[in-house]
Amino acid sequence: MAIVYGGDYNPEQWPRETWAEDMRLMREAGVNRVSVGIFSWAKLEPEEGRYDFGWFDEVMDLLAANGVEACLATPTASPPPWFAATYPEAVMVDAGGRQLTHGSRQGFDPSSDVYLAKALNITEQIARRYAEHPALALWHVHNEYGCHNARSHTKAAAAKFRVWLRDRYGDLDGLNAAWGTAFWSQSYSAWDQVQAPLPTPTIPNPGQVLDWKRFSSWQLKQNYLAEAAVIGKYSDKPMTTNFMTGSHPDIDLWEFSDVVDVVATDHYLVGEDPHVNLGFAADYARSLGAGRPWILMEHSTSAVNWQGRNRAKAPREMIRNSFQHFARGADAIMYFQWRASRQGAEKWHSGMVPHAGTDSKIWREVCELGARLKELAEVEGSRVHADTAILWDFPNRWAQEHEARPTTDLEAQAVFDEYYAALWRAGITADVAEPEGDLSGYRLVVVPAVYLLSRKGAANLRQFVHGGGTVLVTPYSGVADETDTVYLGGYPGAIRDVLGVRTEEFHPLLDDTVALASGGTGRIWSEAAESTGAEVRDTYVLPSTAARTGADAPAGTATPAWLVNRFGEGTAHYLTTFPDDATLDRIVAAAAEDAGVAPAAEAPVGVEVVRRAHEDGRSWLFCINHTGADAKVKTADAVVDVPAGEVVVHREH
Ligand code: GAL
C-alpha cells in the first residue's frame, strides 16, 4: 500500500548522464511512479517503419532497478515530422477552415484513418515490447485527448459525422426535425449536403453545431478504444488516459469515463483562483469514477507557461494544492513534469526539479510532500462521501456556447463556478453529477444553469424532489430539450411543476442590477416569473422596458426573486436572478438546512475540510488552511489546530 507519487518523466530531453542522477533524486524525493513515453514517438520511430527502442529499454530498466513504476504512455498525441510531411491531409483543419501544419503537438485529425493506422502501429510496437516489463504498472493511453484538436473540420471528419448522424437519426427527416431546419430554409434533401460546421455568413444552425460537438467528442473516445484494444492483445495491466476535468469542456467525460480502468485527470491553477476550479476538477474526477480513488496525473509544482501572466506558487502552496486533491479522493499525486525543460515550448513551466536545481524551495517541498504521502499510506483506498451534488452536463454547456442567446453575460461555466464556490464557502463537499444520473444517494442537488435539460433529466429531477430531495435551481435551467428545442407553455418548461413557477419572458439585465427586497443585489438576469404555488421569499422590481428606453412608463412590478416550493416529499428552491455572494450564502444555507446537509466540520472560511473514510470506520479529516491566520477546526469529538498556510491530516477513528 502506498500513495503514488511522481510525474511525467521525459529523459529524451536530457543527456544520458542525467538519467542516473534522476534515479537518485527520485529515490530522495520518494517518487514511486513516473509517466514515460508521452512525447517519444519521433525518437522511437524516427522514420516511418524504422524503430529505435534501445534508449527506451534502458529507461524502463533503470526505473525497474530503482523501484520506480512506469505509467507507460502511447506516444500518439504528438506525431513526428514525417507524419505531416507524408500525409499532410491527415493534419487537422480548424473551425475557420485553415489546414494546420506540423511544428507543435496534436498535429493530426482525430477522424483520419491514416493517423489511426500509424497510431495503432506504434501502439502495437510498444505494447508488444513492454507488456511483460517489470517496471510496467499502468498504461497511459495518448495524452489529454482533444486538448488542442478536439474538433477538426476535415472532409474525413465530415464523412464520419454523416455516418454518426445516420446512426442517431435514422434518416434525413429525423435529422431535419432535430435540427429545426425548417428555419431559414435549411432542410437537407441529400446526406452529402450535410457538412462539418465551417464559417457561415451569420449565426449557424444550433442543432448542427451541438451535434458536431457531440460527434467530435465521440470520435476521440473511439480513438482511445482503438488503442486500448491493441494494448489489450498483449497486456492485462490497467489502462487510463489523462482527462482535464477542470478545463477543456470539449469531451463528454460522462461518456468517456466508462471505458477507462481508473479515472486520471490533470489540473492547473488558473489565475488567482486556488480553490474553486481545483475543487471542481477533483470532485469531478472522483464522481466520474463513482467515488473510487483516482489519479492526479499532472499538476504543477509552481508556475505554468501558458497563461498571460504565470504566477509562481507561494511557499507551501504546492503542498496545499496536492493535499486538496488527496483530500478529495486522489490516491496518486503526480506532476508535469519531473525536470523543468531547458528548451522547447514549455521551458517556462515549473517541474519537480527546477532550473535552480535541488537547492530550492520547490525541491525541498517536493521532498517534504513525498515523505508526508509515505506516512499517510493507509489512507489509500478510502472514500469521500458527499450527500450534495452539483450538476454538470456537456451538451448543456455546448448549447450555451452558441452565440445567439438571451444574454452573453450568462455563461454556463461562470454560473457553475459561482454555485460551486458558494458550496465551498459553506464547507459542503459535493459530488458532480449528470442530470440523467443516479441522484438517489443525495439530499441536495444544485442545478446551475442547466438550460438544456433532456426529458429524461427532467423526469430524474422530478423524481428526486418528489421522493424527498431538495434542489436549488438557478435561472436559465430546464428551458430546452436535448435537441435544443424550447419547451412551450412558459419557462422553465421542463420543471415548472417542480418549481411551482411560470415565467412568461426573460429580462436579461443590461448594465443595471436589481435591488432585492431583502437588501441584496441581483445581477445579469431578471425574469417575469409568477408563483403557481411556491412561497415567495424575496422579490425585486422588474426593470421596466419602457423606463430603460426613456419613455414614460409605469413603475415596474415586484417579481419573485427566490421561490420555495414543496413538491411531493421534497423542496425546490428557484432563483430568478444571480444574487450577490452574501445573499447566495444565505440561500445555500437555507437549502442545506431543508436538505439536512452539513459541512464535515466547523471551520473558518478559507480553511478547507474534507473527510476520507474506509469502510471499516477509519477516517481522516484533511484540514487545509489557505488563510494567513492559525485556525481551529472543530468536530463533535475534537478540535484540530491548523497553523496558517499548513495542512493537518487528523486521524479521527
Ligand atoms: C498538459 C499536458 C502536458 C503539459 C502541461 C503543461 O496539458 O498534458 O504535456 O503540456 O499541460 O501545463
Q: Is the CB of 252 under 6 A from ligand 1?
A: no
The neighbouring-strand residues paired with 194 are none
Is-catalytic flag, 298?
yes
Ligand 1 pocket residue status of 264, Cβ below 6 Å: no
The reply to whether ligand 1 has any atom less than 6 angstroms from the CB of 304 is yes
Helix (H) or strand (E) holding 295: strand 294-298
pLDDT tens per residue across span 531-560: 999 999 999 998 876 566 665 555 567 899
Indicate the burial class of 199 (C-beta count within 10 angstroms; 0-12, 13-18, 19 or more): exposed
Candidate of 71, 147, 298, 334 to mutate for ligand 1, largest count of ligand atoms within 8 Å of Cβ: 298
Q: Give me the helix-helix angle, 172-179 and 206-234, nearest 10°.
A: 120
Is 268's C-beta closer than 6 angstroms to any atom of ligand 1?
yes
Residue 58 CB coordination number (10 Å): 13
Per-residue pLDDT band for 359 (boundaries 50, 70, 90) equals very high
What are the chain's domains?
4-88+104-149+218-379 (3.20.20.80), 388-595 (3.40.50.880), 607-651 (no CATH)
The predicted pLDDT at position 434 comes to 98
CA distance 269 to 258: 27
Distance of alpha carbon 275 from alpha carbon 335, whole angstroms:
18
Q: State what percent of residues in the chain have pLDDT above 70.
A: 98
Answer whether residue 653 shows pLDDT above 90: no
CA of 325 to the centre of ligand 1 (A): 18
Query: Residue 565 pairs with which residues in a beta bridge?
Result: 572
Average pLDDT, the chain: 96
Kindly state the average pLDDT of the residues 313-338.
Answer: 98
Q: Read off the amino acid at residue 498.
A: V
Q: CB burial class (10 A; 0-12, 13-18, 19+) of residue 544?
A: middle
Confidence tier at 334 by pLDDT (50, 70, 90): very high
Residues 399 and 452: beta-carbon distance below 8 Å: yes
| Residue 140: pLDDT band with limits 50, 70, 90 | very high
Candidate from 336, 347, 350, 352 with most ligand 1 atoms within 8 A of CB, to mutate: 336
368 burial (CB, 10 Å; 0-12 / 13-18 / 19+) is middle
The single-letter code of the amino acid at 211 is D
Does the C-beta of 335 come closer than 6 Å to ligand 1?
no
Q: Is 297 in the pocket of ligand 1 (CB under 6 A)?
A: no
Query: What pLDDT does residue 452 have?
Result: 98
pLDDT at residue 602 in the model: 97
Q: Are 103 and 148 in contact (CB under 8 A)?
A: no
Average pLDDT over residues 331-355: 98
Q: What is the pTM of this model?
A: 0.97
Predicted confidence (pLDDT) per residue in 387-444, tens digit: 999 999 999 999 999 999 999 999 999 999 999 999 999 999 999 999 999 999 999 9
Residue 80 CA to ligand 1 centre (angstroms): 18
For residue 155, give every residue at least 6 positions away whose Cβ sits within 8 Å of its Cβ, in sequence order, or none.
none
Q: 248 by DSSP, 3-state: which?
A: coil
pLDDT tier at 287, thresholds 50, 70, 90: very high
- Return the residue whose CA atom lies nearest to atom 4 of ligand 1: 336
Please confirm, yes or no, whether 144 is among the known catalytic residues: yes
Q: What is the dihedral of CA 257, 259, 264, 269, to 10 degrees?
A: -30
Q: Which of 280, 315, 298 is nearest to 349 (CA)?
A: 298
